[in-house]
Amino acid sequence: MALSTYAELKTSVADWLNRSDLTAAIADFVTLAESQIERVLRTRNMLTRGTGNITAEYNALPSDFLDGLTLKLTGTNPITPLQFETLNSLDQMQNTTYVSAGKPLFYAIIGSNFRVLPVPDSTYAYELDYYAKLAKLSVSNTTNWLLTQAPDIYLYGSLLQAAPYLQNDERIPVWVALYTKGIDDLRLADNRSNQAGTMLARARTLG
């Protein structure tokens, strides 16, 4: 069973459900599965780095931003890592300690923007390391890293989303178990890869 493209995934879902009348609905099942996957999965394949310029207190996040890791100013010497804070903390600091504009030292995420404090007194180049959203499957985007690496997650995730639609509640525990195992196996493989990379780096250092 080929399962490497969006069309093949939809065909497989129809085959597993033994239904040929769900073409439009299957696309919805896949979309819902992707939303669920993004809520629970964080792996190195999702890591990316964005760059830009901080020009104001509020700055736009990348359109594919899912979850943040680090933000740093790259045009300063030395490079300046920004400390993550809650919005309430930024409000308190802005009203007391950091009233004047200056080099940003802190940041918070608010909606589709990140807020910095102090309010910048100039333009500052930055790098943002973050987890990116999946490149959603579609007719024009026929595959992505997750479908290539773990097609079972896509398949069982889509079947899980189909069960309530088909009022087939007795299958939900089956799809949940298979979907959860796929997620857990991918996390385990990702952790092993990270550990292997860390050990290799240490070995080179000790050299």
What's the whole-model pTM score?
A: 0.87
**Cα 173 from chain centre:** 26
Sorted by sequence, the CB contacts under 8 Å of residue 23 that are 6+ apart come out as 10, 14
**149-168 burial: b if 16+ Cβ within 10 Å, else e:** ebbebbbbbbbbbbbeeeee
Residue showing tokens 């087939």: 168
Give the tens place of pLDDT for each residue, 29-47. Answer: 999 999 999 999 999 999 9
Residue 143 has pLDDT above 50, yes or no: yes
Give the tens place of pLDDT for each residue, 43-72. Answer: 999 999 999 999 999 999 999 999 999 999
Per the prediction, the chain carries an average pLDDT of: 93
Sorted by sequence, the CB contacts under 8 Å of residue 158 that are 6+ apart come out as 9, 13, 26, 29, 30, 32, 33
The secondary structure of the chain in percent helix, strand, coil, rounded to multiples of 5, reads: 50, 20, 30
Q: Extract the tokens encoding 49.
A: 């780095």
